[in-house]
Amino acid sequence: AQKITQTQPGMFVQEKEAVTLDCTYDTSDPSYGLFWYKQPSSGEMIFLIYQGSYDQQNATEGRYSLNFQKARKSANLVISASQLGDSAMYFCAMREGGTASKLTFGTGTRLQVTL
Amino acid sequence: GAGVSQSPSNKVTEKGKDVELRCDPISGHTALYWYRQSLGQGLEFLIYFQGNSAPDKSGLPSDRFSAERTGGSVSTLTIQRTQQEDSAVYLCASSLVSGGALYEQYFGPGTRLTVT
């Protein structure tokens, strides 16, 4: 089974609208972290937001928020007030167990922000 | 401060040649990771260093791949006898490790390797 599943290969959103990018995960480890990264066409991976498995509150960072539903094993990224510069690939990733273990990535969602 | 740097940014090599890719992590980050990103396979983990030791090498695809880290800082990924399927972007990341906290990984710009 895939550890991280992103079912939306591509998404369109109008400027200034909100958009939700889906991510579901699979793990039996009680301690894990969920991450979202943005990869613009230039190629660099930019860290956006992190949610720990024991965190009670949903993570927020500026216009980014993570809708964490532990029982459903989902960690959707919500981008509010989309901007043209948000057009990029977005990857959901999970780290299981140890404090410095590897990231397992989903296949990504390409977001296109339109005027 | 300075981010993760990688060199070269692009490398074109002939099949069968050896290549070395370099990563310079963020100062103070004791954990260092190598990943590979290709069209067919997505983002794959290769190897993880904590200091100079590599507790997880599970992602190295074959014995042609090796990596080392010296002085708890710079790391080199070496691919021997390159094959066309090695063509990919090789990404390095580093993270802080402190106590029991989980910290994010910061990525370098990558090395695009093309094997002809």
Residue A44: count other Cβ atoms within 10 Å of its Cβ. 16
Residue B103 has pLDDT above 90, yes or no: no
By Cβ distance, the residue of A50, A52, A105 closest to B43 is: A105
Residue A77 has pLDDT above 90, yes or no: yes
CB contact under 8 A, A102 and B59: yes
Supply the pLDDT for residue B115. Answer: 97
Q: What are the start-end ranges of the H helices in A7-108?
A: none
Set of chain B residues whose Cβ sits within 8 Å of the Cβ of A104: 45
Cα(B86)–Cα(B109) distance, integer angstroms: 18
Amino acid in the structure at residue A68: F
Interface membership of B102 toward A (CB under 8 Å): yes
Residue B1 has pLDDT above 60, yes or no: no
Q: Mean pLDDT throughout A65-83? A: 97
Specify whether the CB–CB gap between A31 and A97 falls below 8 A: yes
Set of chain B residues whose Cβ sits within 8 Å of the Cβ of A103: 33, 35, 45, 93, 105
What are the tokens at A60?
Answer: 């927020």
Supply the pLDDT for residue A108. Answer: 96
How large a percentage of chain A has pLDDT more than 70?
Answer: 97
What are the tokens at A61?
Answer: 């960072």
**Mutation test of the interface with chain A: which of B35, B43, B58, B91, choosing the one with the most A Cβ atoms within 10 A?**
B43
Supply the pLDDT for residue A100. Answer: 65
* List of E strands, B51-87: 53-56, 65-69, 75-79
Tens digits of per-residue pLDDT, B33-64?
999 999 877 899 999 999 999 989 999 999 99
Across all residues in chain A, what is the average pLDDT?
94
Cα(B62)–Cα(A48) distance, integer angstroms: 32
Supply the pLDDT for residue A1. Answer: 64
Tens digits of per-residue pLDDT, B18-38?
999 999 999 989 899 999 999
* List of E strands, chain B: 5-7, 10-13, 19-24, 31-38, 42-50, 53-56, 65-69, 75-79, 88-95, 106-107, 111-115
CB contact under 8 A, A105 and B100: no
CB contact under 8 A, A35 and B104: yes
What letter does residue A40 receive in the DSSP assignment?
-
Cα(B49)–Cα(B66) distance, integer angstroms: 12
How large a percentage of chain B has pLDDT more than 90?
Answer: 80
Cα(A99)–Cα(B101) distance, integer angstroms: 6
Tens digits of per-residue pLDDT, A24-35?
999 999 989 999
Tens digits of per-residue pLDDT, B67-90?
999 988 999 999 999 999 999 999
Q: Distance from CA of residue A92 to its chain's centroid?
A: 4
What is the C-alpha R_g of chain A?
A: 14
Interface membership of B72 toward A (CB under 8 Å): no
Q: Are strands B106-107 and B88-95 parallel, antiparallel or unpaired?
A: antiparallel
What are the tokens at B35?
Answer: 């990943």
Q: Mean pLDDT throughout A52-68? A: 95
Q: Mean pLDDT throughout A79-100? A: 91
